[in-house]
């Protein structure tokens, strides 16, 4: 890994369009014009990731996170816009970009299960053009970094899902990259394995590497990332540190209420609650009204909520008070929850 | 490390990786012991069943095939066919396997040349081919008493070597189809069928109608099969083999060039449409 100047990642107006539906062979043979509808998976993303930071791209499934990462990783060609990784253009200098970064864009399925961990890494060391004299040390270091050195000579088929995911991370470390791209690195892992992997990612930063990761787990983004870009429908809707993002909500606490007996058509209760807090979300299911309310003090808000419910002839069944999270930031920005 | 040297090492590593994986399925070795010997033997028995000990039939065969050695003729034809099949399937199957396994994107993330990814895994099959030709040669010499001298064997190896670019070129063209359409087996089966019907695997191509001979002479395997038989059964010298070898080499260079262009085009298509990981 060699230190250099300039941003680790720089994307300007990155756009990726895909066609909807399929074009039949008959249409192709007749050279009919392609009239398929196009949709923008990524819609003009500008991104600047500084060297040495852990930068998160947070958004729900289908928001365009993976597409963005694949364009940066040279696996997808942008429809328009440009991106530079460590100063190299991802389209014109794709091979140079690949030489300098490590990426985790797939799960343990992408390993060779009939090979040992060491044999997997030996193969990728050759593909990454690691000089033969350095390969042994590089593989040992990558295995140690993900705490798999004691199982290095076991077949991958005998590994747990978490161990395989760690090995995929070790594979990304083989070129000793200054930049790591990680796409949803903890998806499908049990909580302990996920926590373990996050620890490994933090260590990457202490080694001086830049990490750009995507996730739809707000806790993961909150705990790991120095800065976060919140992405929705292919666009960045907010970008800042986790603390600064949370400060954009004019509240310090979030109250979630479940109310029975609130009149269907009469908006009186919601209006009353809106006077003492900010109703971020309301949903009615099986006669139960669920509300998410941002407020400055739950201690003041909750009694007022009970009074309002009583006045409207409704009953509050459930009260939950939590601190403001990135989920609330996303909700405030998009009107939807991350998990939707 | 220079890029070329790095790619050469990666190429060797790709072949070694495939061979390592193959070694972990030891029952495959039994199949490779069985097919090159038993299958052509069935054709030998079939020929005996049709012609018996008839001197007239033998003479007719010799006049058409250029050799009276039916066993050698069939074993060489079949060995060449197996070699052709291996290489035709090789690059496309390797790419398809990586695609289905989920490792293709991981390979494309590395700076290794696409040619390494395309040809490297199939390189391990050359080891299998040498094993198979060795096995067939041993059966011909020790079981059927056919004389194969060192010079004949070397000339046969030269023919096999010059056929490599042509066969790999075809295999690589099929691999491009994998990136574009995902599935390639139907196409490979069709081409294999054409080779079986026209290239003289189990018959001399002179028995084909005139248009069939024209088709045969346009297909590289015809020259591989014919060259092997000339070298080992008709004891042809190297000079008389040169025209066949030159045709194989020229076709090989053309096919490899076409394959590289086709693969680059389909790779670009896959990178534009996000189809690398789709199957």
Cβ-defined contact of B106 to A131 (cutoff 8 Å) = no
Mutate to test the interface with B, among A16, A22, A127 (most CBs of B within 10 A): A127
pLDDT score, position A136: 96
Strand blocks (E) in chain A: 9-19, 38-49, 54-58, 80-85, 88-89, 101-104, 179-183, 210-215, 227-232, 235-240, 253-260, 278-285, 288-295, 315-323
Closest by CA to A175, choosing from A216, A143, A135, is A135
Q: Which CA distances in Å does B163 have to B224, B227, B238, B250?
A: 6, 10, 15, 10
A·B CB contacts under 8 A: 94
Distance CA B19, CA B25 (A): 10
Regions of chain B where pLDDT drops below 70:
1, 277-279
Instruction: Give me the residue from A98, A122, A126 closest to B109, CB to CB.
Output: A98
Closest by CA to B156, choosing from B102, B105, B225, B221, is B225
Closest by CA to A2, choosing from A170, A175, A172, is A175
Q: Which residues of B touch A103 (CB under 8 A)?
A: 109
For domain A250-323, give the CATH number: 3.30.70.1710
Q: Which residues of A touch B276 (CB under 8 A)?
A: 75
Chain centroid to Cα A315, Å, comes to 38
Please state the φ and ψ torsions of residue A337, each to the nearest 5 degrees. -90, 155
Q: Are A314 and A269 in contact (CB under 8 A)?
A: yes
Domain boundaries, chain A: 9-246, 250-323
Distance CA B12, CA B8 (A): 6
Q: Which residues of B touch A112 (CB under 8 A)?
A: 17, 21, 101, 103
pLDDT score, position B114: 85
Nearest Cα of chain A lies from the Cα of B264 at a distance, in angstroms, of 14
Cβ-defined contact of A105 to B109 (cutoff 8 Å) = yes
Closest by CA to A19, choosing from B264, B263, B96, B269, is B269
What's the CATH superfamily of A9-246? P-loop containing nucleotide triphosphate hydrolases (3.40.50.300)
- Residues of B in CB contact (< 8 Å) with A are 1, 3, 6-7, 9-10, 12-14, 17, 20-21, 24-25, 101-103, 105-112, 116, 268, 271-274, 276-277
Contacts of B22 (CB under 8 A, 6+ apart): B28, B124
Please state the φ and ψ torsions of residue B219, each to the nearest 5 degrees. -110, 125
Q: Which residues of A touch B27 (CB under 8 A)?
A: none
Q: Which residues of A touch B9 (CB under 8 A)?
A: 126, 129, 132
**Its pTM surpasses 0.90:** no
340 residues of chain A, pLDDT tens digit each: 655 678 999 999 999 998 887 778 788 888 888 878 888 999 999 999 999 999 999 998 889 999 999 999 999 999 999 999 999 999 999 999 999 999 998 888 889 999 999 999 999 999 999 999 999 999 999 999 899 999 999 999 999 999 999 999 999 999 999 999 999 988 888 888 889 889 989 998 999 999 999 998 888 999 999 999 999 999 999 999 999 998 888 788 889 999 988 776 667 788 888 888 888 888 888 888 898 888 888 888 899 889 888 888 888 999 999 888 888 888 888 877 766 5
């Amino acid at each position: 890994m060699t230190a250099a100047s300039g941003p680790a990642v720089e994307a300007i107006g990155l756009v990726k369009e895909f066609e909807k539906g399929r074009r039949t062979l008959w249409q192709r043979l007749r050279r009919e014009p392609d009239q398929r509808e196009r949709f923008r998976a990524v819609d003009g993303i500008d991104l600047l990731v500084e060297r040495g930071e852990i930068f998160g791209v947070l958004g729900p499934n289908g928001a365009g996170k993976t597409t963005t990462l694949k364009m940066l990783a040279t696996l997808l060609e942008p429809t328009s816009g440009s991106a530079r990784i460590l100063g190299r253009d991802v389209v014109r200098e794709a091979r140079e970009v690949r030489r300098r970064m490590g990426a985790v864009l797939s799960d343990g399925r992408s390993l060779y299960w009939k090979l040992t961990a060491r044999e997997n890494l030996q193969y990728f060391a050759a593909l990454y053009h690691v000089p033969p004299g350095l390969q042994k040390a590089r593989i040992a270091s990558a295995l140690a970094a993900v705490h798999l050195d004691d199982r290095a000579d076991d077949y991958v088929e005998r590994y747990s899902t978490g161990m395989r995911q760690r090995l995929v991370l070790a594979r990304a470390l083989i070129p000793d990259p200054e930049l790591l791209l990680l796409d949803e690195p903890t998806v499908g892992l049990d909580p302990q394995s996920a926590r373990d992997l996050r620890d490994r990612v933090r260590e990457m930063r202490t080694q001086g590497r830049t990490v750009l990761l995507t996730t739809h787990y707000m806790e993961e983004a909150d705990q790991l990332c120095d800065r976060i870009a919140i992405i929705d429908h292919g666009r960045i809707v907010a970008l800042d540190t986790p603390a600064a993002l949370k400060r954009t909500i004019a509240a310090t606490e979030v109250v979630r209420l479940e109310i029975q007996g609130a009149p269907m058509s009469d908006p009186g209760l919601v209006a009353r609650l809106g006077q003492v807090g900010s109703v971020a979300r309301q949903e009615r299911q099986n006669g139960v009204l669920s509300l998410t309310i941002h407020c400055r003090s739950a201690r003041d808000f909750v009694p007022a909520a009970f009074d309002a419910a009583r006045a409207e002839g409704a009953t509050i069944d459930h009260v939950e008070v939590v601190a403001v999270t990135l989920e609330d930031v996303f909700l405030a920005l998009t009107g939807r929850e991350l998990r939707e | 490390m220079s890029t070329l040297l790095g790619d050469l090492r990666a190429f060797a590593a790709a072949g070694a990786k495939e061979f390592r994986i193959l070694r972990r399925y030891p029952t495959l070795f039994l199949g490779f012991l069985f097919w090159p010997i038993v299958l052509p033997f069935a054709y030998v028995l079939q020929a005996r069943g049709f012609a018996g000990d008839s001197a007239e039939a033998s003479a007719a065969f010799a006049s058409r095939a250029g050799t009276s050695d039916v066993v050698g003729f069939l074993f060489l034809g079949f060995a060449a066919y197996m070699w052709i099949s291996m290489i035709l399937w090789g690059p496309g199957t390797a790419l398809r396997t990586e695609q289905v396994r989920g490792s293709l994107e991981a390979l494309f993330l590395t700076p290794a040349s696409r040619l390494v990814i395309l040809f490297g895994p199939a390189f391990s099959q050359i080891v299998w081919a040498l094993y198979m030709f060795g096995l067939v040669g041993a059966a011909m010499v020790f079981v059927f008493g056919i004389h194969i001298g060192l010079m004949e064997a070397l000339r046969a190896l030269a023919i096999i070597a010059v056929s490599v670019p042509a066969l790999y070129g075809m295999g690589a063209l099929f691999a491009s189809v994998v990136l574009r359409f995902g599935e390639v087996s139907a196409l490979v089966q069709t081409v294999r069928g054409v080779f079986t019907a026209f290239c003289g695997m189990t018959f001399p191509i002179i028995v084909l109608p005139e248009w069939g001979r024209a088709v045969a002479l346009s297909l590289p395997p015809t020259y591989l099969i014919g060259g092997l038989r000339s070298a080992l059964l008709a004891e042809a010298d190297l000079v008389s083999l040169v025209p066949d070898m030159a045709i194989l080499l020229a076709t090989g260079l053309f096919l490899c060039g076409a394959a590289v262009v086709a693969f680059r085009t389909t790779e670009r298509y896959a990178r534009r449409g996000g189809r690398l990981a789709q199957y």
